[in-house]
Amino acid sequence: MKILVTAATIFEIQPFLDHLATHTYPDCQVTTLIGGIGMMHTAFQLGRQFATSRPDIAIQAGIAGCFDHSWEIGKVVIIENEQLGDLGVEDDQAFKDLFDIQLWQPDQAPFNNRQLINSLDNLPFIPALPRVSGVTINTVSGSERTRNLLVAKYAPDVESMEGAAFHYACLQEKIPFLQLRSISNYVEVRDKSKWNIPLAIRTLNETLIKYIEQWN
């Protein structure tokens, strides 16, 4: 089985890379791809990767901001559906996405009711993790106004800068996929003293390693 593991930055999956350096999996050919930060880099790198070496399964691993303060930092989740949170137009004080202004239709492939949904079909094993909703943005949210706008319009659980591009590419290419995210911070007025990126990276990589090992 050919498995692609992709992340935006190398530090997000460095423990996993270190693990691969000392462990072999006879039933899996694991390839890693550092796609870069944001949707543009992710889309380009995935397109190039899929064109030259099509995987049986693609996994995106990364950290994320969380909208629900009751969730603990370091919690790992599966993103089941993704939405684009900042692709559209400003109309005075309102934001309208491409569905609102009818440039896109809600169910045009690969969207389903405006969402990029992972059915989780054709995966040999699915981790027993919460399945949540994501929103993908180009600018990390850091104000109450932006937070409230995203919550009111998309009701997301977490935000990232790459998730929707990953879902879109895998759905278009019909490649089974899994997006794993670990909570590193809450979506609020930006205060990095409250973040815990090392914890989020540790729990993310522990989950990723356990997942690969369970396949073998």
The whole-number pLDDT of residue 29 equals: 93
The whole-number pLDDT of residue 25 equals: 87
| Chain mean position to CA 66 | 12
Distances (CA, A) of 111 to 12, 83, 92, 175: 28, 9, 27, 15
Is 172 buried (19+), middle (13-18) or exposed (0-12) by CB count in 10 A? Answer: middle
Q: End-to-end alpha-carbon separation of the chain, Å?
A: 10
What is the domain count for the chain? 1
The whole-number pLDDT of residue 171 equals: 98
pTM: 0.96
- Each residue's pLDDT tens digit in the chain (216 positions)? 999 999 999 999 999 999 999 998 888 899 999 999 999 999 999 999 999 999 999 999 999 999 999 999 999 999 999 999 999 999 888 899 999 999 999 999 999 999 999 999 889 889 999 999 999 999 999 899 999 999 999 999 999 999 999 999 999 999 999 999 999 999 999 888 999 999 999 999 999 999 999 877
Place of tokens 């919550």: 151
The whole-number pLDDT of residue 32 equals: 97
The whole-number pLDDT of residue 214 equals: 86
Query: CATH number, domain at 11?
Result: 3.40.50.1580
Range of the domain at 35: 2-215
